[in-house]
Structure 1
């Protein structure tokens, strides 16, 4: 991990790119915004629980302007409750959208690592000749 700049994850970039396109973000920013370190460790009294974290220090996004003004992308932002500027506390909608991005990456990391650990990913690729 020493010297790693955001390359300690399974597939954060796939999820960031998907959300960025759906929510009217600049897809070019998915490169820098995908810097992510995912850590998993055994926890709990018997060590049978899993503690997983995703750290994403450079998520670049917004909820005003650009592609966020397109109808389908506005609908996605509205569904997430972050469309437009927050009048009470400027920047809050963008911060909440960044949390949604990171939480989605965390869920995707857990899903992919579970599939790898159980051997399901390889089996499904073999079945479909991929």
Structure 2
């Protein structure tokens, strides 16, 4: 796999068959664009599902594949609110995790590519931006 940030394209080479495939790289919004889109939405909806996530780092560490791994237990609870058809439930994930940066040079510096972070913007009914 060859990623050419300057050409905004990725290439997959099959040397044995003397073939290649190419496709455009994913483009990302600027840091301001998501906030602008949220400000333009004026629809106020009642929440239908409550999702609670609890993450506990047990403090245990061990060496995995030459890297230090953390033992983390994550509990996710789903509760229906109002007229939601979502069944309530609870999921527990017990895992070992390493920090691994998989970003490449053309990923935006503001975008936390390798860490799976997200943000949520909320406001109360009648609240102004």
- Give the shorter-chain TM-score range: under 0.3
Structure showing the higher helix proportion among its residues = 1
TM-score scaled by structure 1? 0.27
TM-score scaled by structure 2? 0.27
Tell me which of the two structures has the higher relative contact order, counting C-alpha pairs closer than 8 angstroms and 6 or more residues apart.
Answer: 1
